[in-house]
Amino acid sequence: MSFTAVYLSKEGDNFSAALKTLEDDELESNPASGGDVVVRIDHSGINYKDGLAIANRSPVVRAWPMVAGVDGAGTVESSSDPKWKAGDRVVITGWGLGETHWGCLSQRARLKGEWLVALPESFSTAQAMSIGTAGFTAMLSCLAVRNEGVESGSGEILVTGASGGVGSIAVAILSSWGYTVVAATGKLNEADYLRELGAADILDRASLSAPGKPLQKERWAAVVDSVGSHTLVNACAQTRYGGIVTACGLAQGMDFPASVAPFILRGVKLVGIDSVMCPMERRESAWNALATDFDARKLAAVTTTIGLGDVFATAEKILAGGIRGRTVVDVNQLP
Ligand code: NDP
């Protein structure tokens, strides 16, 4: 059987990204595509990392040729892993998909059974990818805030990169948990969107993006950051005594030009968030929390759906910071 995928190849300096029709046996024979479960993918997503890979903007891909797509949701077609059987609905994020292992911007994928999470019944595959890697990472960040003991009445929570994938879902989760959320964004024209998701207040991200003093006026009980660089440094410098800052992203930059002052003088705790190699137990509890503890009706406002052929233009757009919320890819919508 044949299927269509977003196929990235590189020979010397010659990079190409295009839709390609592949045969099933290539899923078996390619060393970057091993696994005991074949999944018919319904939906994937465009994450920042997909943008980097598809636009060849940073060394995300480490095995060539590569099928792009760091996440996907679909139905098991066949499995030699006893945990899974044909017909099971599954979701997958990370584990090197689209980097070292053929990913899910594809109508089919061969995956390791131990990587798969059973899709909670309440979600369609489209909703699962509306959450996707970004929303899953947002949930890991929000759970860290809650598990570190920050209570809903403890003060304002800052979410940076708020109109992006991680930021939008973090605003929605935290506000539905009763926290007072301040959304920092460069897209002030998206203030209504962010308020609809639950933000109590909007902050111009320019107030956080330049170098600042090591200790600033204490404001935030906690911070969910996906931006890094000076934004993360300023967020730490403005966090109240004993507060929590989670760091998962680098939309402004990978640097962290900080002082230790917030950590040693205010006991601020910086918590790193990684979704890619996150252990299965934490994955399952984050997906369960998304199913039970989050108002999925908010996903409609967050989501734009595109077809498989639209991913190339969307990759450029996400790198330019021009995407609002999450972009879901219907992999069966072909040009
Ligand atoms: P998006 O592109 O959807 O969102 C990023 C947002 O950051 C933008 O929408 C914009 O929001 C803001 N932003 C962009 N450029 C700048 C800038 N120069 N300075 C300040 N803010 C900026 O990406 P995602 O939400 O999917 O991912 C966000 C980050 O998190 C990425 O770096 C990604 O690689 C990382 N990530 C990490 C994961 C992990 O496992 N650790 C998993 C998922 C993502 P606004 O316009 O509202 O300011």
Which position has the token pair 């300023």? 234
| Choice from 190, 227, 278 to test ligand 1 binding pocket (greatest atom count within 8 A of CB) | 227
Inter-residue contact 309 to 68 (CB < 8 Å): no
Sort strands 108-111 and 117-118 into parallel, antiparallel or unpaired: unpaired
> Half-sphere exposure (CA, 13 Å, Cβ side) for 131?
30
| Choice from 226, 271, 302, 323 to test ligand 1 binding pocket (greatest atom count within 8 A of CB) | 226
Nearest CA to ligand 1 atom 4: 164
Domains of the chain: 2-119+295-330 (3.90.180.10), 134-272 (3.40.50.720)
pLDDT at 13: 87
pLDDT at 196: 96
C-beta 161 within 6 A of ligand 1: yes
All residue ranges of the chain with pLDDT < 70 are none
pLDDT at 160: 98
pLDDT at 62: 95
For the entire predicted model, the pTM comes to 0.96
How many A from CA of 250 to the centre of ligand 1? Answer: 6
pLDDT at 291: 95
Which position has the token pair 């911070």? 223
pLDDT at 114: 97
pLDDT at 47: 94
How many A from CA of 69 to the centre of ligand 1? Answer: 17
H helix intervals, the chain: 24-29, 48-54, 125-147, 165-176, 191-197, 229-237, 261-265, 280-292, 299-302, 311-319
C-beta 234 within 6 A of ligand 1: no
Q: Is 249 exposed, middle or buried (0-12, 13-18, 19+ CB in 10 A)?
A: buried
C-beta 252 within 6 A of ligand 1: yes
Nearest CA to ligand 1 atom 33: 249
> Half-sphere exposure (CA, 13 Å, Cβ side) for 115?
27
pLDDT at 322: 84
How many A from CA of 81 to the centre of ligand 1? Answer: 35
pLDDT at 31: 86
| Choice from 248, 254, 304, 324 to test ligand 1 binding pocket (greatest atom count within 8 A of CB) | 248
